[in-house]
Amino acid sequence: MRLTTELFGVKFQSPVLLAAGTCGFGLELAEFFDLNDLGGFVTKSVTIDPRHGNEAPRLTEFGGGMLNSIGLANPGLESTRREKLPWIAANVTRAQVFVSLAGHTVSEFFRLVEGLDGDEGFLGYELNLSCPNDARRDGPPFALDLDAVDEIVSGCRARTDRPLLAKLAPNDLDLGGTVRCATDAGADGLTLVNTLPGLLLEGATGAAELGAGPGGISGSALLPVGLRAVKKARSETHVPLLGVGGVTAPEDAVAYARAGAALVQVGTASFASPRAGLLLARGLEKWGRERGVSSWTDLVCSDEDEGRSS
Ligand SMILES: Cc1cc2nc3c(=O)[nH]c(=O)nc-3n(C[C@H](O)[C@H](O)[C@H](O)COP(=O)(O)O)c2cc1C
C-alpha cells in the first residue's frame, strides 16, 4: 500500500507521526531508528520558560494504558531555538516536524510563534490547547473555552504563514462548536485528541499514584474516544485531521482513517517500544498489501463521504 500523502503543501511519506511529548525533540529516539523513515513527529510542547515538570512519579500504568502528569517539562523557548531546532534541521530531512506550543496565557502563544517563526527545521505548529495537566495555570484548558480558542488561533494565524494545527480535548461537550471555532479562526488542521483527565489511587492507602495527583489518560482506553472525536470533527470541517489516542496496531490507524484522519499519531505505544511508530508504518504497508488496498488516501474518509459539502 502506498503510504504517501500530500497535505499542508508538502509530502508526508507515511501517515504515521509521533505524538507530542512522547518523542522529545527527535534526538531522544534517533538511536533506535531513522526518524526519516516516519511521516514525522510533533515535538514536546514548548513553553516560554524552561519547566522541570511535576513531582514524581509522573507516569503510571493501568489496564487501559497510562496515566501521566509530566507537567510540560521542556527546555523552554530559547534552548529549543539554540539546541533542539538546529539538530532537527541538520538531521530530520524527510520527516515533517511540527513544534508543539504551550502558552500559559493567550499572549504567550503569540510570543512563542514570534520567537520561533524565523527558525529552520520544522514545517508548522501544533497548538497544545488541551493539556489537562498544566497548560493554563487556573481553570480548564483553553480548548474548552471558545473565546480563548478563537483568540489564540487567530492571533497565531496573524503571526505565521506556516501550517497551524489546533490540538483539541477529548472531554469537550461541544466538540462541533470548538472545531468550527478553531477552523474559522484559521487552523489549517486539527489534532484530536489530547489525554483525558483521570486519577489512579493506591488501594492500600488511598494515595494518588502520581505525585501531582490527577493526570491524563493515554493508550488503548483512548482509542474509542479519539475515534469518536475525529468522526465528529469530520462532520464539521473539511480541514485535515490528525487522529491520536490508543494507536498501537495497523487496524487502529485504519480505523482513524475511516473516521476521517489523514494522518495518525502514536504516543504511548512508543513507551513499550521506541520503534512503535516505525513498526506501525511497516504494518500498515502489509495490511494494505494483504487486502489489495493500493493507497492510504483511499482509506481516508473525506467530508464529502460524510455528506458534508464544504
Ligand atoms: C508522557 C506523555 C507526555 C505527553 N506530553 C504532551 C505534550 O507535551 N503536549 C501535547 O500536546 N500532548 C502530550 N501528550 C499527549 C499525546 O501527544 C497524545 O495526545 C496522547 O498521549 C494520546 O495518544 P496515545 O494514546 O497514543 O498516547 C503526552 C502524552 C504522554 C503519554
Ordered structural domains, the chain, with CATH: 5-298 (3.20.20.70)
Q: Are 51 and 76 in contact (CB under 8 A)?
A: yes
Q: Which of 218, 11, 254, 42 is nearest to 128 (CA)?
A: 42
Cβ of 66 closer than 6 Å to ligand 1, yes or no, is yes
Name the β-bridge partners of 5: 12
Q: Residue 13 contacts by C-beta under 8 Å, 6 or more apart in sequence?
A: 3, 4, 39, 94, 95
Cα angle 27-252-171, degrees, rounded to a multiple of 5: 85
Ligand 1 pocket: which of 195, 244, 247, 270 to mutate (most atoms within 8 A of CB): 195
Is residue 248 in contact with ligand 1, taking CB distance under 6 Å? no
The atom number, within ligand 1, closest to the CA of 130 reads 11
Pocket test of ligand 1: the residue of 17, 25, 194 to mutate, having most ligand atoms within 8 Å of its CB, is 194
The answer, yes or no, to whether any atom of ligand 1 lies below 6 A from the CB of 74, is no
Determine the 3-state secondary structure of 254 from DSSP.
helix
- In this structure, what are the phi and psi dihedrals at residue 148, rounded to the nearest 5 degrees? -65, -40
Q: What is the pLDDT of residue 132?
A: 78
List the one residue out of 87, 153, 169, 156 whose CA is nearest residue 122.
Answer: 87
Query: Ligand 1 pocket test: which of 171, 218, 268 has the largest number of ligand atoms within 8 Å of its C-beta?
Result: 218
Rounded to the nearest angstrom, the gap between the alpha carbon of residue 270 and the centroid of all alpha carbons in its chain is 14
Q: What is the pLDDT along the chain (310 residues), one digit of tens a residue?
A: 999 999 999 999 999 999 999 999 999 999 999 999 999 999 999 999 999 999 999 999 999 999 999 989 999 999 999 999 999 999 999 999 999 999 999 999 999 999 999 999 999 999 999 987 666 666 789 999 999 999 999 999 999 999 999 999 999 999 999 999 999 999 999 999 999 999 999 999 999 999 999 999 999 999 999 999 999 999 999 999 999 999 999 999 999 999 999 999 999 999 999 999 999 999 999 999 999 999 999 999 987 776 554 4
Q: What is the pLDDT of residue 119?
A: 98
Alpha-carbon distance 67 to 242, whole Å? 22
Q: Is 230 in contact with 172 (CB distance < 8 Å)?
A: no
**Crossing angle of helices 223-234 and 175-184, rounded to 10°:** 60
Q: Verify whether ligand 1 is closer than 6 Å to residue 270 (CB atom).
A: no
Nearest to 66 by CA among 253, 215, 194: 215
**Dihedral of alpha carbons 9, 15, 19, 23, sign:** negative
SS3 72: coil
Cell numbers representing residue 128 in the block: 497544545
Task: Give the pTM.
Answer: 0.97
8 A C-beta contact, residue 234 and residue 259? yes
Q: Take atom 3 of ligand 1 and give the residue whose Cα is closest.
A: 21
- DSSP 8-state code for residue 81: I
Atom number, ligand 1, closest to the C-alpha of residue 220: 25
Cell matching residue 19: 505524538
Check if 44 has its Cβ closer than 6 Å to any atom of ligand 1.
yes
Rounded distance from Cα 294 to ligand 1 centre (Å)? 31
Q: How far is the CA of 298 from the centre of ligand 1 (A)?
A: 28
Is 301 marked active-site?
no
